Structure 1
């Protein structure tokens, strides 16, 4: 019987495993390394960043970090939640772990009362735009820095 993927909190016990997650070389320009994500989680107010290891059986297959109730405009006028980072290990891609990760973040946002989930991505031919659009995200017409913003109604 195949195992089901699950999320695990990143702890001292699995930190080295989390840091070993690597996307394909052609994807490196699209997502920050896990170490940078964990550093960002550390410097944001408690509870804003939600870093998790994606595990299947006894294998770490990826990493995600959600943002929960973040001050999107830095002035308190717009609060959003969504997927901040998604790193599926190069050897584990194409097995549904990315879809699982998006669904898991959506479930957590719903559990907290959210009705929308946001994501940004690097635009370009090698970027993940098609992946997010296939999952039901729609472009909002906004950009964050130079990245398009997508929204999924929950």
Structure 2
């Protein structure tokens, strides 16, 4: 693995992000990437979207939002999506992305990052727990709300 780095989502990486593969069973826990891409258009001042590159290869995508004025506290500093290509999973890429997200959150004055996810056997809970998120509640739709300190 080369040195990992983040790059702002752009024209030269968007196709690769849309083509990231998932392991069987993971797709039921993720909305299409295009849903996240629309958030930049809707919330350009607060949306934060980056691709994770290993050398020149796109191996991941992370989408977050930083909005101190959000009415729901768990939407003020929130990780919306993290995708790591199926072939690159379990190689430290997700942990790298979360660490970078925490760094950015701290730079923007936040003391934590929240994530909301659907519980399930093939879902992301094991990953989020492994990188340090702690469940703190649930949404009205029974999704887990978890938080990590920055």
TM-score (normalised: structure 2):
0.89
* Pairing of 1:2-151 with structure 2 (within 5 A): 2-43=1-42, 45-69=43-67, 71-73=70-72, 80-143=76-139, 145-151=141-147
Structure 2 contact 65–75 (Cα < 8 Å) conserved: no
**Unmatched runs of 5 consecutive residues or more in structure 1:** none
Query: Which secondary structure state, in structure 1, belongs to the residue aligned with residue 12 of structure 2?
Result: coil
In the aligned structure 2, how far is the partner of 1:131 from the partner of 1:82?
16
Instruction: Name which of structure 1's ranges 59-68 and 9-18 shifts more when overlaid on structure 2.
Output: 9-18
Cα deviation for residue 94 of structure 1 reads 1.2
- Runs of 4+ aligned residues of structure 1 deviating over 3 Å after TM superposition are none
In the aligned structure 1, how far is the partner of 2:75 from the partner of 2:36?
20
Query: Which secondary structure state, in structure 2, belongs to the residue aligned with residue 94 of structure 1?
Result: coil
TM-score (normalised: structure 1):
0.87
RMSD: 1.9
Query: Which secondary structure state, in structure 2, belongs to the residue aligned with residue 64 of structure 1?
Result: strand
Deviations 1:85-113 (A, max 9, x none): 01111111111111111111101001111
Q: Structure 1 residues 56, 98: closer, same or farther in 2, change over 3 A?
A: same
Deviations 1:57-99 (A, max 9, x none): 01100111011126152xxx77621211011111111111111
